[in-house]
Amino acid sequence: MAPGVVDPLYARLVAKHGFEAMYMTGAGTSATRLGMPDIGLLTLTEMVDNAARIASVSDLPLIADADNGFGGPFNVRRAVQEYERAGVAAIHLEDQVLPKRCGHLAGKQLISAPEMVAKIKAATDARRDADFVLIARTDAIAVEGFERALERAEMYREAGADVLFVEAPGPHQLEAINRRLNFPTLYNMATSGKTPFLKREEIEAYGFKIILYPNWLLLSAIKAAEGALETLKREGTIASIAPDLPSFQEFFDLVGMQEVRALEARYGVPDAARTDY
């Protein structure tokens, strides 16, 4: 289960709650870094910078969105090496053209299967760490139909992908994906997409090995923020909300204040041992 994160603060939260992996969502990163939709506006440098910051605050394996690899096979080569250097454990590469779309939206267009195969070969060849996981995503269901999506996934498997991500399947396609591909697969648990809300055990029973929860944390935070803003507007004060919020201590401890203090004490910083807030 890899909850989606957009920055190191969310990464700290996911790690605190005992998950085994996390996911840097491209849609969420675009929304928070640019205030713009997931159409492929963020550059490789911006995505890798964000991923590096996220990876730096926890030891959990980070799966990162690498969109369409930011260009052709040579861009993909560079992308793999940059993500690896950033401390990312896995990326997913998709077969859409630019401008791209969220996989659950209409209006997607694809590159040809041989073009995508070339990108996958470039990605696996560029890898320096044999444990770096390449997830090949196909957006073909909505564009070319289910059978063609499976054929593409088979081609991507033969090209060297480690995990297959058939984007936006419906409830009746889940079993066939795993039966036919017989390979590690990924389930993208979007919050209002085409894929059903299933429990972890149900998804596992279908044979999926990785579950992404891309934007659900961010959407939860948006809902909470909207409610708080409405209250302030209505009541003219934050008094009714404040008691339910994390305390200063909880907030600072979440971002590592205890570790900072321990190190400061070792360095002999005056007053470092104080634990009051």
Ligand X SMILES: C[C@](O)(C(=O)O)[C@H](CC(=O)O)C(=O)O
Binding site for ligand X (CB under 6 A): 4, 25-27, 38, 65, 102-104, 188, 190, 212, 214-215
12, 82, 95, 102: which is the annotated catalytic residue?
102
> Which one from 10, 12, 67, 156 is the annotated catalytic residue?
67
CB 99 to ligand X: min, Å: 13
Least CB distance from residue 32 to ligand X, whole Å?
12
Active site residue 274: no
The answer to whether 211 and 196 are in contact (CB under 8 A) is: no
- Catalytic residue, from 38, 82, 84, 139: name it: 38
Annotated catalytic, 65? yes
The residue among 26 and 73 lying less far from ligand X, judged by its C-beta, is: 26
The distance of closest approach from Cβ of residue 214 to ligand X in the complex, given in angstroms and rounded to an integer, is 3
Q: From edge to edge, which strands make up the β-sheet containing 210-213? A: 163-166, 133-138, 90-94, 62-65, 22-24, 2-5, 210-213, 186-188
In the complex, minimum distance from the CB of residue 61 to ligand X, in angstroms, rounded to a whole number: 17
Q: How far is the CB of 242 from ligand X (least distance, A)?
A: 32
Report yes or no: 223 and 198 within 8 Å, Cβ to Cβ: no
* Nearer to ligand X among residue 92 and residue 261 (C-beta): 92
What is the distance between the alpha carbons of residues 27 and 145, in angstroms, rounded to a whole number? 24
**Among residues 127, 137, 152, 261, which one is catalytic?**
137
Nearer to ligand X, 3 or 103 (CB): 103
The catalytic residue among 10, 50, 65, 127 is: 65
- Reply yes or no on whether 154 is catalytic: no
Which of 10, 50, 84, 92 is the catalytic position? 92
Query: Is 67 considered catalytic here?
Result: yes
Rounded distance between C-alpha atoms, residue 167 and residue 153, angstroms: 10
Q: Of the two residues 156 and 261, which places its CB atom closer to ligand X in the complex?
A: 156
Is 137 an annotated catalytic residue? yes
- Catalytic: 178? no
Query: At its nearest, how many Å lie between ligand X and the CB of residue 84?
Result: 20
Tell me whether residue 17 is one of the annotated catalytic residues: no
Let me know if 162 is a catalytic residue. Answer: no
Distance CA 161, CA 159 (A): 6
- 50 part of the active site: no
The verdict on whether 139 is a catalytic residue reads: no
Residues taking part in catalysis: 23, 38, 65, 67, 92, 94, 102, 137, 167, 188
